[in-house]
């Protein structure tokens, strides 16, 4: 991924990717923390990053109509177990 994405849509996707990585990092650090105050602080930071993810997705949906279509279409309950089209399950 480029350090400086070229379009606004790329910038928002870059931010979204970083926010998701940061959530994982804060949650891992929280699990490892010995002091409950530190554990709570890191969990709080992770929760704030989740809000940022929601905001970034909202902006992405506004900038990319095809991405928005995927959200509007939704995913069937068996989507991940029914196999991809053209791919046989062994």
Q: Residue 37: is it exposed, middle or buried by C-beta count within 10 angstroms (0-12/13-18/19+)?
A: exposed
pLDDT value at 90 more than 70: no
Cα separation, 54 vs 59, in Å, equals: 9
Answer yes or no: is pLDDT of 1 > 70. Answer: no
Q: Tens of pLDDT along 41-89?
A: 999 999 999 999 999 999 999 999 998 898 888 888 888 887 666 555 5
pLDDT in tens, 13-45: 999 999 999 999 999 999 999 999 999 999 999
Listed residue (9, 17, 7, 5) closest to 63, CA to CA: 9
Q: What is the pTM of this model?
A: 0.77
The two tokens of residue 65 are 């109509």
**pLDDT at position 28, please?**
98
């Amino acid at each position: 991924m480029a350090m400086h994405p070229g379009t606004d849509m790329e910038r928002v996707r870059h931010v979204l990717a970083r926010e998701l990585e940061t959530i994982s990092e804060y949650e891992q650090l929280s699990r490892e923390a010995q002091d409950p105050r530190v554990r709570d602080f890191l969990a709080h930071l992770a929760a704030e990053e989740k809000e940022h993810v929601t905001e970034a997705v909202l902006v992405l949906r506004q900038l990319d109509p095809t991405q928005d279509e995927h959200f509007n279409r939704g995913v069937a309950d068996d989507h991940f177990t029914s196999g991809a089209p053209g791919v046989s399950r062994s």
